[in-house]
Structure 1
Amino acid sequence: MGEWNDFYLAVASASAALTGLIFVGVSINLTKILSIRGLVDRALLSIVLLLTVLVLSILFLVPRQTVETEGFIILVGGTVSWLGIFRLDLNTIKNKEQPHLRQYFFNMLIDQLATIGFILAGIAMVANWPMSPYWIVPAIIVSIVKAVFDGWALLVEINR
């Protein structure tokens, strides 16, 4: 898996920087975020997505791991992330007002695609399916894109 080192190094760096930006966005707009129901969970959700990408990328940089070992790591990390995000999504849906519910179901779908993507990649890697290391790439991309859109909402859209 040594040929993946540069990829995971870039992903770890990008997700660490984006996590920092989410923290800055939350701190700048903290009063407003705390006053709007559901935004704290949305901020936490984006941080969990980015931290999942960051932690998994760092763990994949550990030398001399087999594909199966990395698969187990991503399976456990993806499952923990999925459970946390699913709980946050359910909590947010419970507290959402009717006009915004449809939009949040779309957000929830994207969250689930990202985290279930990690679980599927882990299963593929543990089972040593062909091309299994590539299965993590869509989960990483969806997680980063979703977190960036959530970060945009917390930084810019909140002030409209």
Structure 2
Amino acid sequence: MAGVVDWESFGVMTGGASGALTGLLFVAVSLNADRIARHPGLRAIAAQTLVLFIAPLVMAAVLLTPRQPGRAVGAELMAAGLCGGLSLFVIGRRRRAPTPADERPAGVFDRRDTGIVVMLLLVVSGAVVASGTPAGLYVLLPASLVAFVSGVLSAWNFLLPPPDML
């Protein structure tokens, strides 16, 4: 698909950032493993953050796979969004109660709903691309940005937790 070729640099940048942030998440979780293991809400946030960092990595892999027809790119983006959304739904069911982080202004990015928005944007992008309109790829920018901001704020909470989460 001709339009996807134009997105190669975006895919490389997003995939690299996603990989680096996933590594950050593993460091943050390992530094606070005891506290996270005792708190079901924190375990759920860690899993949610992993899904948010992996989604842009999958998106980048789709964009960087050579010579794919537009319908395949669109179907893969839709599948990634649906799988990610289902994962977030399952993770959210395990999260019993809101954490104190949910009450802070930055807590809006720690919520499952924010992740679901990211996954819906992937599905919308895929549907538009599958219909033959490469402009649907522009929806990947806000999806990636929200995923990264949300995930970084969650990882920050693991590294430097607020006093009420200790």
TM-score range (shorter-chain normalised) is 0.7 to 0.9
Matches within 5 A, 1:71-82: 71-82=74-85
Corresponding position of 2:67: 64
Paired letter, 2:45: R
Secondary structure, aligned partner of 1:96: coil
Q: Give structure 2 stretches of 5+ with no counterpart.
A: none
Quote the offset at 1:129 in angstroms.
3.5
Corresponding position of 1:120: 124
> Which one of 119, 127, 140 corresponds to residue 144 of structure 2?
140
Deviates further, 118-127 or 75-84:
118-127
Corresponding position of 1:152: 156
Question: Are residues 1:8 and 2:11 paired?
Answer: yes
Distance 1:33 1:11, change over 3 A: same
Secondary structure, aligned partner of 2:7: helix
Corresponding position of 2:26: 23
TM-score normalised to the size of structure 1? 0.88
% identical aligned pairs: 25
Quote the offset at 1:96 in angstroms.
0.7
Secondary structure, aligned partner of 1:157: coil
Distance 1:33 1:111, change over 3 A: same
- The answer to whether the 8 A contact 1:32-1:158 is kept is no
Please tell me the root mean square deviation across aligned C-alpha atoms, in Å: 2.2
Distance 2:89 2:100 in 1: 18
Distance 1:130 1:72 in 2: 13
- The answer to whether the 8 A contact 2:48-2:112 is kept is no
Quote the offset at 1:116 in angstroms.
1.1
Distance 1:64 1:138 in 2: 25
Quote the offset at 1:100 in angstroms.
4.9
Secondary structure, aligned partner of 1:131: helix
- The answer to whether the 8 A contact 1:5-1:61 is kept is yes
Matches within 5 A, 1:22-41: 22-41=25-44
TM-score normalised to the size of structure 2? 0.85
Aligned length: 157
Question: Are residues 1:131 and 2:135 paired?
Answer: yes
Paired letter, 1:29: N
